[in-house]
Every structure is written in structure tokens, then in C-alpha cells.
Amino acid sequence: MKSYKELPDDAGSNIIGQVTAQANRLTERLASVRHTVAIMSGKGGVGKSAITANLATALTLAGCAVGVVDADINGPTIAKMMGVRDATLEYASTGVKPAISSLGTKIISMDLLLSEDAAPVLWNAHTQKDAFTWRSTMEVGALREFIGDTEWDELDYLLIDLPPGADRLPNVAELIPNLGGVVVVTIPSEVSHLIVKKSITMARDILDAPIIGVVENMAFYVCKHCGEHEPLFSAEDTPDNAFQLTTLAKIPFDPKLSHCNDSGTPYLNEYPDTRAGKAIIEVAQKIQDFFKT
């Protein structure tokens, strides 16, 4: 089998030039980003995107320039949670201007490119049942364009909200070989621990990516009558014991947080002094401390 470079021509597609140009654009964009952080879990339903959106808000309120890439191509939620679903992307010769939240966080998401709520992401193929053959490659290509074609300007942090699955981090590591760190999100459930461990192994042992720590989301529920902590899940093991990693914070379940995510309202702007709000701010501070060491 011959490589692209060995082919006498490429039927006029200039595939080598296109790939090279795109890779160069991505490198140039990342040159203006101080720190890149991937938010991952491996398991869906643990509130990873909610954590990403609120960490971006916390870092922005702390005075940082922050961008968010919604890397969940097929199930994007960041635009809704951050209140920018109605934003219209502007295109220029220099790239795409990202959507900007009410607080100034920059966002790019597939959700901003879909025509309606019910529209799925469909890849060009002879039939959709054949599209799976190229789906992973096309998703990586879309992510490369999200990062490389967006006008981020100068950023202190670029947060990348990964979709579920331990196999997604290698795609990011390929695009961002100098990935600054990984934040792992779990819930206090044995099932979650089982799946999240696989993602941690992928990050730590296979990719050798620096893991900042673990966030335990929905760690407990605070009774509104007596203020006591009530467990929501059955896991007896703590994140420290289960993963042998630093626990950045245990974030309690707060219905107001869910409501803010649904309405696109910055939770930390409205409820900074709640237990969940303080825990999210604590995680954001520990991320900043990680890059200071």
C-alpha cells in the first residue's frame, strides 16, 4: 500500500495540502492558549458537561480568559447550558468567531450548526448505515476544525468537554499533544467507578496525560429542612480509594444548578454561596493551582 506522498497525483484534491494546512492552523490557534484541559468521565449521565460549563464560568469570574470546545459531536449540550444556543456564528477569512456567553466565555459547539432541535448529526455516505465506517475519522476532523478554525485569540484556559467513552481521549491527545491536564468526573456509584476507571487507565497509563484530579458530582443531597447530608447513591468507596487520585471536590446535588443549566443562566452568578457553588469554585481554584506548580 502506498502513502499519499508516494502517489503521482491525488486527482486534483490536494489532500496533502489540505491536511497540512489544517494541522498548521490548529497549531497556530493553540499557540495563543496557555492551558488546555480535557474534562472526561467515560460514563454518560454523571453531569460532566454541567461541570464543564460551570467550571468555565468559575474561571471566567476569576478573571481568566476561557474558551470551551463541546467535543460531544453527536450529543452537544454546552451551548444550551451556557445560554448561547441562539447565537449566530460569524465567518471570516481568518476563521469562525465563537459564540460568547453573557459573562464572556467563548464557546464552539456542533449545536450551533444544527438547523433544529431534533436534527441529528449525519455524515455523508452512500447510506447512513454505511456511515459508521468513517464516523470516527469524521468526528476527529470536525473536532480539529472546531479548535483550528475558531478565533480564540488569547486564552488562559481552553476546556474540552469530551463525550462518554474511554476511546475519545486519544483523539484529543492526537490533536493536542501537549494537553495540559485532565479532570475526571464521576458520581458515587459502583457502576460509575467501574467505567471511570477505564478512562483513568487510558489517560494515566496509556497516554501518560497529566491528571489534575477527580470531581465527585452529585455526591450528596442537602436536606432543605434540616441541612443534613443525604446520600443519593450507594457506593461506599471514596474517589481517593477507588481511583488513587486527588479528589478536587465533592459537589452536592442542587436542583437550582440543574435549573440554571436548562435555562442557560450562569449558576455561579446567581448562587455563588451555595455548597455546590463553593465546591465548583474550589475545583476551579485547584485547576489554577495545578498549573502554577
Q: Is 114 inside a domain boundary?
A: yes
Three-state SS sequence of 75-112: CCCHHHHCCCCCCCCEEECCEEECEECCCCCEEECHHH
Grid coordinates representing 95 are 476563521
Q: Which helix (H) or strand (E) holds 215?
A: strand 211-222
Give the bridge partners for 229, in sequence order: 222
Residue 201 sits in a domain whose CATH number is 3.40.50.300
Instruction: Count structural domains, the chain.
Output: 1
pLDDT at 124: 58
Closest C-alpha to 204, from 186, 184, 189:
184
User: Is residue 10 in a domain?
Assistant: no
Q: What does the pLDDT average to over 172-180?
A: 89
pLDDT at 132: 56
Nine-digit cell string for 188: 458515587
Q: Residue 278 contacts by C-beta under 8 Å, 6 or more apart in sequence?
A: 272
Confidence band (pLDDT; 50, 70, 90) for 135?
A: low
pLDDT at position 4 is: 43
Cell of 203: 489517560
Residue of 36, 264, 287 lying closest to 147 (CA atoms): 36
What is the band of 49 on the pLDDT scale with cuts at 50, 70, 90? Answer: very high
- pTM (2 decimals)? 0.88
Q: What is the pLDDT of residue 13?
A: 55
Phi, psi (rounded to 5 degrees) for 241: -75, -40
Give me the helices (H) in the chain, please.
15-30, 48-61, 78-81, 132-148, 168-175, 190-201, 239-243, 255-263, 267-270, 275-292
Q: To which residue does cell 483550528 refer? A: 148
The verdict on residue 158 lying in a domain is yes
Q: State CA 164 to chain mean position distance.
A: 10
57 near 268, Cβ under 8 Å? yes
At residue 280, the pLDDT reads 98
List residues bridging with 33 in a β-sheet: 155
Residue 23 lies in a domain: no
**Residue-number span of the structural domain to which 263 is assigned:** 36-292
Angle between helices 255-263 and 48-61 (to 10 degrees): 80
Cell numbers 445560554 label which residue? Answer: 83
- Please give the pLDDT value at position 1: 43
Q: What's the whole-number mean pLDDT along residues 201-213? A: 89
Query: Is 278 a residue whose pLDDT tops 90?
Result: yes
pLDDT of residue 60: 98
Least confident of 33-42, 64-73, 96-105, 141-150: 141-150
Question: Is position 11 within any domain?
Answer: no
Given this model, what pLDDT does residue 71 score?
92
pLDDT above 70: residue 12: no
For residue range 16-31, list pLDDT tens digits in order.
Answer: 666 677 778 888 889 9
Tell me what pLDDT residue 131 has. 55
* Contact call for residues 216 and 188 (beta carbons, < 8 A): yes
Percent of the chain past pLDDT 90, that is, above it, reads 53
Pairing state between β 106-108 and 247-253: unpaired
**pLDDT tens digits, 70-104:** 999 888 999 999 999 999 899 988 889 999 999 99
14 in a structural domain? no
In a domain, 242, yes or no: yes
Rounded CA separation 46/163 (Å): 11
- Tell me if 193 sits within 8 A of 242, measured CB to CB: yes
The answer to whether the CB of 37 falls within 8 A of the CB of 284 is: no
Q: Answer whether residue 159 is part of any domain.
A: yes
